[in-house]
Chain A
């Protein structure tokens, strides 16, 4: 039987991806250019018995999904840069209390209110370093509407698997771009559910690392009762300031990502085998970059595209290999130099690394990338 197809905006595809993943709770606050995610969820979630709530502000939206997640629900919110800034306090809470949830950030331009209807990729560093303190981050930047669907499913999977917030970074272009989507059949994409608790209620400790780096999370309202706090805590969830316990807890949280990079990291490569210049691009701009690589190849220039799909953790091992084989790396991004910092850091600048930054609300064109590659070679 033919698959169900539709012409969907990226934001809509994101919402349908969330539903495919089993999302049953959406808490949101309207903000351009992310609103279609909320609008689709408000229509579709109740059909499945799920809950949609429009909260009084961005912080409340984030709080509501954390409360819902603690009852066992897969929970989503969608916002844009200023909203993510407001949510940072509770994104940090989700990190320390290890509460799974997904935050979609349809990036817009500017600091502050900036350019509400203009695209950008300027929240790459906010996704990693936005909140205070040390904690791991997972952020995914899909490029096409189909990929927004499947990567939103994967975002939920990673959130549940690693017990932490996961951010999906779109931009105004792929959020509002319409493309043909094939809806995967149930079972076609992997859907990860929360790991069940196997110990007895008396023995349950929500942060017990004797069960591994990612202890199972019980649901409020089940037979397991426990305490959750934003304070540094011991295995039983109650606050502690004992140096050895605080240190072990913080390091465990970083370890759960570092030890599982192979499972989390995802990249796409195009003509990189013999590439002398590597274009590193993500999200919408990777589409310009792929076109530019084709143009360059026709002109006999050995260009290749490295497209990180997972921005955090950054796929640093493969990036470093590519930088070592290349004469130059070019990084086009709709900001004034964010991911390029990470590329410079991890590759130790083994070759020249040039960025193309654009913050005027217009996408970076293939011609701009072609010109920059010719300039650096």
Chain B
């Protein structure tokens, strides 16, 4: 039976703003399937975003939704979760929002290991402002503010999240549509900070400046660069050159922030 997306969408709030060929819709569908799989309740769930194309997602879905200021989603989400730990809290947003202006909030949310799920749409570009380069734009690539090619090195978001202390980190791509919901569901079930990075395509702001002739070309590239972590274990550094590991990259158990805070309360109350 086909999945009923409409039960989670807000009537009258579509069509979305995403361009034809943009992978954000694929990720949003994966997100909704994962939330359904995990049985998240609408009233008990908050979805928080910052600013940017991906950050418009909360407007379309029927939960408690919060579209905040640029980069600040993780910090708002931390306030919600700590104030009401019984709520399920998700953050959605793009690479510029999450790891440029929001980089500090992102790494510290990972460090605290607060129990929320951050779905990071990495399309290598600032889409909404018209294609300026982000910390994830490949070095040498063209963007509206790198007319001679991007001189900046690239952030590896998943490595950043692992290094900062997130206890569940996974990566996939918009091409691997059926893996998206599985990884988000695993992140939702994980107790602690989970980060799911989804490599995504932006044909309008990135693809057309970087010799991708079509959306299909961009999707093909996502397919080609993805290497499942298990397969990568048997590959040489040369074979892995230019590839991106996908699947669950990191998972560990570590005390969760809100639970730790309950111990603070118990101590303060003389338990």
A residues within 8 A CB of B86? 221
CB distance from B202 to the nearest CB of A (A): 21
Would you list which residues of chain A between 212 and 267 have a CB under 8 Å from chain B? 220-231, 238-239
Q: Across the interface, do B46 and A238 meet the contact criterion of CB distance under 8 Å?
A: no
Stretch at the interface among A54-62, A177-185, A312-320: A54-62
CB distance from A187 to the nearest CB of B (A): 24
Sorting the interface of chain A by its residue count into under 10, 10 to 19, 20 to 34 or 35 or more gives: 35 or more
B87 nearest in chain A by CB position: A221
B269 nearest in chain A by CB position: A47
A20 to B260, alpha carbons, bound, how many Å? 26
A266 to B97, alpha carbons, bound, how many Å? 42
Would you list which residues of chain B between 7 and 48 have a CB under 8 Å from chain A? 10, 13, 42-44, 46, 48
Would you list which residues of chain B between 58 and 74 have a CB under 8 Å from chain A? 58-59, 62-69, 72
Stretch at the interface among B77-85, B129-137, B213-221, B229-237: B77-85
Q: Across the interface, do B75 and A60 meet the contact criterion of CB distance under 8 Å?
A: yes
Q: Across the interface, do A60 and B104 meet the contact criterion of CB distance under 8 Å?
A: yes
Q: Across the interface, do B59 and A63 meet the contact criterion of CB distance under 8 Å?
A: no
A255 to B261, alpha carbons, bound, how many Å? 41
Let me know if B155 is at the binding interface, CB within 8 A: no
The CB with the most chain B CB atoms within 10 A, among A72, A93, A220, is that of: A220
B44 nearest in chain A by CB position: A221
B residues within 8 A CB of A51? 82-83, 261
CB distance from A228 to the nearest CB of B (A): 5
Let me know if A120 is at the binding interface, CB within 8 A: no
Let me know if B268 is at the binding interface, CB within 8 A: yes
A201 nearest in chain B by CB position: B43
A239 to B79, alpha carbons, bound, how many Å? 23
B residues within 8 A CB of A227? 10, 58-59, 65-67
Interface of A is mostly: mixed
Q: Across the interface, do A228 and B65 meet the contact criterion of CB distance under 8 Å?
A: yes
Given contact pairs A56-B104, A63-B105, A229-B59, A46 touches B75 in the complex (Cβ within 8 A): no
Given contact pairs A56-B105, A227-B67, A230-B67, A220 touches B78 in the complex (Cβ within 8 A): no
Q: Across the interface, do B79 and A25 meet the contact criterion of CB distance under 8 Å?
A: yes
A71 to B84, alpha carbons, bound, how many Å? 7
B residues within 8 A CB of A46? 261, 264-265, 267-269
Mark each residue of chain B from 81 to 102: 1 if its CB lies under 8 Å from any CB of chain A, else 0: 1111011000000000000000
Q: Across the interface, do B67 and A228 meet the contact criterion of CB distance under 8 Å?
A: yes
CB distance from A1 to the nearest CB of B (A): 24
Mark each residue of chain B from 188 to 224: 1 if its CB lies under 8 Å from any CB of chain A, else 0: 0000000000000000000000000000000000000
Let me know if B243 is at the binding interface, CB within 8 A: no
Q: Across the interface, do A229 and B67 meet the contact criterion of CB distance under 8 Å?
A: yes
Q: Across the interface, do A226 and B105 meet the contact criterion of CB distance under 8 Å?
A: no
CB distance from B33 to the nearest CB of A (A): 20
A224 to B46, alpha carbons, bound, how many Å? 12
A65 nearest in chain B by CB position: B79
A256 to B72, alpha carbons, bound, how many Å? 28
Q: Across the interface, do B67 and A231 meet the contact criterion of CB distance under 8 Å?
A: yes
A residues within 8 A CB of B82? 25, 51, 53, 64, 68
A68 to B48, alpha carbons, bound, how many Å? 13
Q: Across the interface, do B79 and A64 meet the contact criterion of CB distance under 8 Å?
A: yes
Let me know if A90 is at the binding interface, CB within 8 A: yes
A residues within 8 A CB of B107? 56
A residues within 8 A CB of B176? none
A65 to B104, alpha carbons, bound, how many Å? 17
A190 to B104, alpha carbons, bound, how many Å? 39
Sort A-B residue pairs by CB-CB distance and give the 4 closest, nearest first: A67-B79, A63-B75, A64-B79, A46-B268
Given A46-B265, A63-B105, 8 other A-B residues pairs in contact with their CB atoms under 8 A: A25-B79, A47-B268, A47-B269, A56-B107, A64-B78, A67-B79, A72-B84, A225-B63
Which residues of A are interface residues toward B (Cβ below 8 A)?
24-25, 27, 43, 46-47, 49, 51, 53, 55-57, 59-61, 63-73, 75, 89-90, 93, 220-231, 238-239
Q: Can you report 18 A-B residue pairs in the complex whose CB atoms are below 8 A from each other?
A: A47-B268, A51-B83, A51-B261, A55-B75, A60-B72, A63-B72, A64-B75, A65-B79, A67-B78, A70-B66, A90-B72, A220-B66, A221-B43, A221-B64, A226-B65, A227-B67, A228-B66, A238-B59
Which residues of B are interface residues toward A (Cβ below 8 A)?
10, 13, 42-44, 46, 48, 58-59, 62-69, 72, 75-84, 86-87, 104-105, 107-108, 261, 264-265, 267-269
